[in-house]
Homo-oligomer: A and B are copies of this chain.
Amino acid sequence: MKSYIKKLCEKAKKASRALALLDQKAKDRALIAMARALCQNASYIARENKKDIDSARKKGMSKALVDRLLLSHAGINAMADSLLDIARLKDPVGGIIETRSRPNGLLIKKVRVPIGVILIIYESRPNVTSDCIGLCLKSGNACILRGGSVAANSNIAIFNILDKTAAKYGLPKGAVSIIKDTDRRIVNELLTQGALIDLVIPRGGESLIREVSKRSRIPVIKHYKGVCHTYVDETADLSMAQDICFNAKVQRPGVCNAMETMLVNKKIARKFLPSMVKRFIDAGVEIRGTEEVRRMCGDMKIRQAAEADWYAEYLDLILSVKIVKDADEAIRHIMKYGSYHSDAIVTEDTDSAAKFLNEVDSACVYVNASTRFTDGGQFGKGAEIGISTDKIHARGPMGLEELTSYKYIIYGTGQVRR
C-alpha cells in the first residue's frame, strides 16, 4: 500500500511539472472535451449515482444529505457547464500580480504559478469530483482525489470519464487521480507525503477535518462547517428581512452557506418573529428557540434550544432562534458560536452595518443579502473548489486564483548587494 501511494504521488508530482508549463489553449481544449464527455455519458453517471442514492436511503440518511448526493440530469449538465465556465476563465498561471522597479535597477515581477500537487479529501457531493478536476487542471495543478464512500460510484464514474478525456487530449499521465480504495489508512499514508503533495484541502464534517489536520504533515486549507447567522437589526426593513432569512434557511438547507441561527433585535422581535416563525414552520422548518422566543410565538411548536444548538450546523430544515439586545450582542454571539463562514445583518442603519462588517471576523459578511451567496459561481469566480474557513492563503470561496502560488522573477544587469 505504501509503495502504491508513493508511486501515485510521484506520478502526480511529475505530471504537475509538465502541467505547470502547459499553455491555456491545451488546457481549455481538454476542459471543453471533458464537459462534452460528461453530457454524452449522463445516463451512465445517473445510473451509478442511483446506486449511491439507493444505498444512502437504505442507511436512513436525512433528506438534506441525500440532496447533497443527488445528481439529476440537470445536475450533470450543471457540472458540464461548470467545466465550460472554467474553460472560459482567464488562465491564472503566468499572470503578473505586481511589478516593482527598484532604485538599483532591479526589476521584480511577482508571477502566479501553480501550487503543484493538491490532495482533496471530500465527503458526499459528487459534483466536487468534476469541479476539482476542472479547477486544478486549469490552474496547472495535479490533483489527487479522495471522495466519501457514500458517493463512491458517482465519483468513480465521473473520474473515469474525465480521466479518459484528459489522456485523449494529451494531458500528462497522473495529472488527475482518484483513490478508489476506501481504506482509511490510505488517507493517513497520503498525509505523510509532504515532499510530493503541496496542499491538502479537506471538505467535510468536523471529524474529517480534525483527523486530517491532526495527521497532516502537509499544509491544510480547511473547508469546515458553516454555522451561518442572520441578525435582524432594529432598523431592518422587516419584509426584506423575512425574505432574506427564509431564503438563507430554506432554499437549500443541506449546504454550508445556509443559515443555522437567526438573531433578532429585541425592539422589533414582537413585530417580526411570530409571522417569520409561522412562515418557517409552514415550510417544514423545525424551530429551536430560547424561552423568550417561545413565549413570543405563543402556541407555535418551538423546541427549547440547548447550548449545543448554537454550535450546530444542522444542514437540514432546523433553525435556532434567539432574541438579542443589540448589534453588539449579536456580534458577540456570532464570534462565540459561529464558524466564521458567512454571516449577515439586515439593517437600514449604516452605522450598525459598518460595525457588523468590521467586527464580525468571518470569511463573508453581508448587509441585506442572503448568506446563500457565498459561492464561487455567485462571486463570479466560476466553479469553486470549496469555501475556506481558514485565514491562511485563501478565505471564503476558492476559485482558480486561490489555487495558485506565486514566485518572484528578478531581472538584473549585474547588480550585487553592498
Binding site for B on A (CB under 8 A): 17, 20-21, 100, 102, 106, 108, 113, 115-116, 194, 198-199, 213-214, 217, 219-221, 237, 240, 243-244, 246-248, 251-252, 357-359, 361-370, 372-374, 378-380, 390-393, 395-396, 405-418
> Which residues on B sit within 8 Å (CB–CB) of A364?
407-408, 410
> Which residues on B sit within 8 Å (CB–CB) of A379?
100, 102, 108, 408
Looking at the assembled complex, report how far the CB atom of A58 sits from the nearest CB atom of chain B, in whole angstroms. 31
Most buried by B among A106, A392, A396: A392
Q: A194 CA to B20 CA in the complex, in Å?
A: 33
> Which residues on B sit within 8 Å (CB–CB) of A219?
219-220, 390, 392
> Which residues on B sit within 8 Å (CB–CB) of A243?
414, 416
Given A392-B392, A393-B393: A410 and B366 interface contact (C-beta under 8 Å)? yes
This protein's copies in its complex = 2
> Which residues on B sit within 8 Å (CB–CB) of A411?
367-369
Provide a sorted-by-A list of 20 A–B residue pairs whose CB atoms are within 8 angstroms. Answer: A102-B378, A113-B361, A194-B213, A240-B414, A243-B414, A246-B416, A363-B407, A364-B407, A365-B407, A368-B414, A369-B411, A369-B413, A370-B412, A373-B410, A373-B412, A378-B417, A392-B392, A392-B393, A392-B405, A395-B408
| CB-based contact B100/A369 at 8 Å | no
Given A365-B407, A373-B106: A416 and B380 interface contact (C-beta under 8 Å)? no
Most buried by B among A374, A380, A412: A412
| CB-based contact B368/A416 at 8 Å | no
Given A113-B361, A219-B392: A366 and B414 interface contact (C-beta under 8 Å)? no
Most buried by B among A20, A221, A357, A362: A357
Closest B-chain residue to A100, C-beta based?
A: B380
| CB-based contact B247/A412 at 8 Å | no
Q: A390 CA to B220 CA in the complex, in Å?
A: 12
> Which residues on B sit within 8 Å (CB–CB) of A393?
392-393
| CB-based contact B106/A392 at 8 Å | no
Closest B-chain residue to A16, C-beta based?
A: B361
Q: A410 CA to B100 CA in the complex, in Å?
A: 31
Looking at the assembled complex, report how far the CB atom of A258 sits from the nearest CB atom of chain B, in whole angstroms. 10
> Which residues on B sit within 8 Å (CB–CB) of A372?
416-417
> Which residues on B sit within 8 Å (CB–CB) of A113?
361
Given A393-B392, A417-B373: A408 and B359 interface contact (C-beta under 8 Å)? no
| CB-based contact B240/A199 at 8 Å | no
Closest 8 CB pairs of A and B: A369-B412, A247-B416, A372-B417, A391-B405, A393-B393, A240-B414, A219-B392, A368-B412
Q: A366 CA to B362 CA in the complex, in Å?
A: 39
> Which residues on B sit within 8 Å (CB–CB) of A213?
194, 217
| CB-based contact B237/A414 at 8 Å | yes
* Residue from the list B20, B217, B395 in contact with A405, Cβ < 8 A: B395
> Which residues on B sit within 8 Å (CB–CB) of A416?
243-244, 246-248, 251, 369-370, 372
Given A366-B412, A392-B115: A361 and B247 interface contact (C-beta under 8 Å)? no
Q: A417 CA to B395 CA in the complex, in Å?
A: 21
Looking at the assembled complex, report how far the CB atom of A90 sits from the nearest CB atom of chain B, in whole angstroms. 14
Q: A365 CA to B115 CA in the complex, in Å?
A: 16
Q: A237 CA to B412 CA in the complex, in Å?
A: 13
> Which residues on B sit within 8 Å (CB–CB) of A199?
391-392
| CB-based contact A361/B392 at 8 Å | no
Closest B-chain residue to A243, C-beta based?
A: B416
| CB-based contact B369/A410 at 8 Å | yes
